[in-house]
Amino acid sequence: MPANTPHPRLVDPARLGRARARARLDLAGFLHDEAMAELQERLIDVNRTFTAPAVVTAFPSAWANLLPGAKIVPPDDVLDLEPGAHDVVVHAMALHWADDPVGQIVQCRRALRPDGLFLSVAFGGETLTELRQAMAQAETEVLGGLSPRVAPMAEIRDMGALLQRAGLALPVADRLPKTVTYTDAFALMADLRAMGETNALAARHRAPVPRGLFFRMAAIYAARFPARDDPTRIRATFEMIFLSAWSPHDSQPKPLRPGAAKARLADALGTSEFDETAQPVLHPSDD
């Protein structure tokens, strides 16, 4: 690709901005509330007083109380964070919409002081798996093909790898799956609009679609994914992936250099060491 050719974008920023602007988290902010509660528990477990926090979020009113006095910045391509200015940076429910997620984390790392904490929560790859499958089947039947309608979201192993790529230390990634039930697929889509999580993909299908597509999708959804405790409702999966890591500092534990161990693992386990490269010795009784 020529140097002056812009990199293709995954996300349409204008469309995403409009979706977030009309969000109603007062009606559908329960996942943000749960994510914030989980992050607060992690901050308590760290057992450290943070004096210069920052929060990266598209929903400042929803996240204003996570860390008192925190600088709140939007998740723009270039984050409004000063290098080395913060002892904790939280990237809240926005990384799944980033065109360059590792770039976002790198900017957060640069904004951290040495031994500063990075935390993130975002939707993961299992999110809306039922809606993806129902929509794919409906589009194949009605339109004879597929188009991007639900943003691709990273798996937990990929998200964890971003921390190391960004130069952070002691990386940890874990997931919190949550199943929510709705009366039907249209109620789910109304909640997604209220969350600001509607389709903002740059490659989305822009031509008008027949109304029958969504009715067919809703019928497929209801048939394939009823709620387990109430078959008159549907279930929807949301997966939240939590990331934590630290900006490098000399006080942090370091892995040993190869060959630097002072004791054998076999001795610690009280067992015998087995050499996989050794050739087996055959005895007459082995024939």
Residue 10 near residue 200 (C-beta atoms within 8 A): no
| pLDDT score at 208 | 72
Query: Whole-model pTM?
Result: 0.81
| pLDDT score at 183 | 98
Looking at 1.10.300.10, 3.30.565.10, 2.30.38.10, 3.40.50.150, the CATH number of the domain 13-257 comes to: 3.40.50.150
pLDDT-based confidence at residue 11 (cuts at 50, 70, 90) = confident
Q: pLDDT tens across 228-276, in order?
A: 999 999 999 999 999 999 999 887 776 555 555 555 555 655 665 555 4
**Domain spans of the chain?**
13-257
- Copy the structure tokens of residue 275: 């050499």
Q: pLDDT tens across 173-186, in order?
A: 999 999 999 999 99
Range of lowest pLDDT (64-73, 139-148, 233-242):
139-148
Name the residue among 176, 230, 275, 144 with its Cα closest to residue 222: 230
Name the residue among 115, 95, 134 with its Cα closest to residue 251: 115
In angstroms, rounded to a whole number, what is the distance separating the alpha carbons of residues 174 and 159?
Answer: 10
pLDDT-based confidence at residue 63 (cuts at 50, 70, 90) = very high
In angstroms, rounded to a whole number, what is the distance separating the alpha carbons of residues 234 and 120?
Answer: 29
Burial bucket for residue 276 (CB in 10 Å: 0-12, 13-18, 19+) = exposed
Residue 106 near residue 129 (C-beta atoms within 8 A): no
